Amino acid sequence: MAGIGGNVSARLPKRKEIWITPSGLYKPDLKSEDLVKINLEGKALESVFKPSIEWPLHLAIYKKRADVNAVVHAHNPVTMGLALAGFKPKPITPEAVMLLGNVPILKFVYPSTAKLGKLVGKEIAGRRVLILQNHGVVAVGHDLTEVICIVEVLEEVSTTMLIANLVGKPKLLSPQQIELIKKLLRGYKIVVKE
């Protein structure tokens, strides 16, 4: 994340509170004591700072997905640039097949609104990542490591697709190759080194 853009949240499994990044603070300098604890209605429970203005988006996801314990909303520049031009990320690598799947580009909805939260809450069902037209990306996962990997793989795929389209015609994986990758890598998980 660059500057004050984007936001991150996490919760302990099956808890009714989340920790979210504060609004307006420079992300690279954040410390754990800067995070804001909020309940599932968006009320701040602990912190001297305001929660991210995107808290409705985060809460909509947690309310719809009991399996999600971490959410990242970032402004991936290459992914956003391609989405602005109408290009969706493609499953071009085994990692993209397993981590991204079909990544839809959602229509523009104003940031920090209940309408955006409702749309994301609906569209995130069965997915790990969405692109928000003219806004950014939203990724979800079991923990922060998984979500960060998803956001990084999405940007890597977008960068690779951009380069491939600039210099020639990309050679995409066939539907058969994609299905075989899914079978071979069934149970693929991101392992966190303790």
Give the list of residues 6+ apart from residue 65 with CB closer than 8 angstroms, or none. 124, 125, 140
What are the sequence ranges of the domains in the chain? 59-184
CATH topology of domain 59-184: L-fuculose-1-phosphate Aldolase (3.40.225)
- Going by pLDDT thresholds of 50, 70 and 90, the confidence category of residue 191 is low
Annotated catalytic residue: which of 17, 33, 41, 54?
54
| pLDDT tens, position by position, 58-100 | 999 999 999 999 999 999 999 999 999 999 999 999 999 999 9
Is 152 an active-site residue? no
